[in-house]
Structure 1
């Protein structure tokens, strides 16, 4: 079953060339209507990453790309945003919402230009959608906003592909291997001791070295993903090279390069588990 877009997004052809069932079909309707609020600066690569995983779920999903109303990205053309994105409050018929991360780990939330608008989205989301999926920075921001859990800065950027454990049985972790690896990449995170102890939250998937990966609020049907199942094989490598070129002196990504040889990229096996997690979320809470 296809992923359907009502606007002719350029990445559709790229994903079709990979053999994925994703199509521009303005008059078709999906069984699930999903909003995708894209906060990442490089919109087009984020579109490719997450639409790939959604297409690999095998579900009939109608995806609407959403944008903030009071903030204009500097690294994506205004023409792209105008042609392919809708204002976040323009759709009242969506079943679920995904909110991406953003490279803002070194900023206090109140320093973020669109923080007040994002707080409005957080507050409205519980009323407007069956379920919301918060990703990476957005997950940490939601922990802060909804539960008062502060964020801690790390001494070094967390970057690598880490082993995880499924901590408890839940429909969202069904079919996920007991021991699974996922990429992480961040400078800051919700304080882990408060996250694990908070009465409204349940940690489903955890890494000894990277902390929580998947967390749920089962009453409000919120899913929080703190790693990056959408990353391609070279994403961590490109981040590492970018940080070096910017003079940041980063540490190499951990447990990532094959045989610890810089540039020897792994197979992105984590994508299959990311697609399975999305499928479970949609079937269990969104649909």
Structure 2
């Protein structure tokens, strides 16, 4: 399908993941597959390096977070981070993250929060509580549309998506909040997508940016870091679960539709804002 002739959208991304280079490549790929040209700009939290020099490897992949740059952007993504076990106030860049979220709201930027980023934003903006899961929710699961949203257009009522997290947000509080919609959840009633449509905010709890090998890489990272622990392998993922061979990219269609729909929404939001600014 040919690209629509719009100027490139500028999407800012706060990259909080441990595998920064891989995360950058993933988001660049999924956004570049959209029907509108996208320019990505990556940032890191300055306060995370308050007591030490910023590593050269980080500087090569991202710029320091700056409010001046936010005003030039058309949308923003805050990624996940493998820190679900920490209370939000224990995260060393929590204050900076809260300020960023407030600035995104003030600038009326479309916002996409992913996994831990979605937990943090939902807690900061709406006071929703985080709840530890009894075990990691890890694998490729069927998800169902609970309430339609434009970013889910083109998907069937039940679709596949990868999940990888140790915590969940309080579903009862979400359903009770007048500003929030629960748009999709897994068949196990774990969150997939929550939104505030009026504020252009999406809280995505599935790692739709992941490519075929990403769940396997995450599993290998954990068992390498802590070989003394027993980790559950990703479910419904391998063609041969016994040998953990041939990971399957079952969410490829979901990924393509979701990110293309989100970029399209940003284009429409930008066009509407431009129309309002005309004399």
- Shorter-chain TM-score bucket reads 0.7 to 0.9
Contact 2:168 2:191 (8 Å CA) reproduced: no
The structural deviation recorded for 1:46 is 0.3
Contact 2:240 2:246 (8 Å CA) reproduced: no
State whether structure 2 residue 231 is matched by structure 1 residue 250.
yes
Any idea what SS the aligned residue of 2:59 has? helix
Any idea what SS the aligned residue of 1:165 has? strand
For 1:81 and 1:240, the matched residues in 2 are separated by: 23
For 1:42 and 1:72, the matched residues in 2 are separated by: 17
1:179 equivalent in structure 2: 158
> What are the superposed Cα offsets for residues 239-274 of structure 1, whole Å, 9 maximum, x if unpaired?
223333312211222222224333223331313322
Give the one of 73, 97, 102 matched to 1:123: 102
User: Structure 1: where are the runs of 5+ without partners?
Assistant: 3-28
User: Structure 2: where are the runs of 5+ without partners?
Assistant: 271-279
2:276 equivalent in structure 1: none
| Number of corresponding residues | 260
For 2:243 and 2:209, the matched residues in 1 are separated by: 21
Contact 1:97 1:129 (8 Å CA) reproduced: no
1:222 equivalent in structure 2: 201
Contact 1:153 1:189 (8 Å CA) reproduced: yes
2:277 equivalent in structure 1: none
128-137 or 97-106: which moved more?
Answer: 128-137
The structural deviation recorded for 1:174 is 0.8
The structural deviation recorded for 1:66 is 1.5
TM-score, normalization by structure 2: 0.85
> What are the superposed Cα offsets for residues 168-195 of structure 1, whole Å, 9 maximum, x if unpaired?
2222211122221111011112112222
Contact 2:43 2:64 (8 Å CA) reproduced: yes
TM-score, normalization by structure 1: 0.83
168-177 or 260-269: which moved more?
Answer: 260-269
Give the one of 44, 48, 52 matched to 2:25: 48
For 2:191 and 2:95, the matched residues in 1 are separated by: 27
> What are the superposed Cα offsets for residues 98-121 of structure 1, whole Å, 9 maximum, x if unpaired?
110100011011110100110101
Contact 1:185 1:227 (8 Å CA) reproduced: yes
For 1:160 and 1:196, the matched residues in 2 are separated by: 25
Residue 73 to residue 105, structure 1, CA distance change in 2 (3 Å): farther
The structural deviation recorded for 1:233 is 2.0
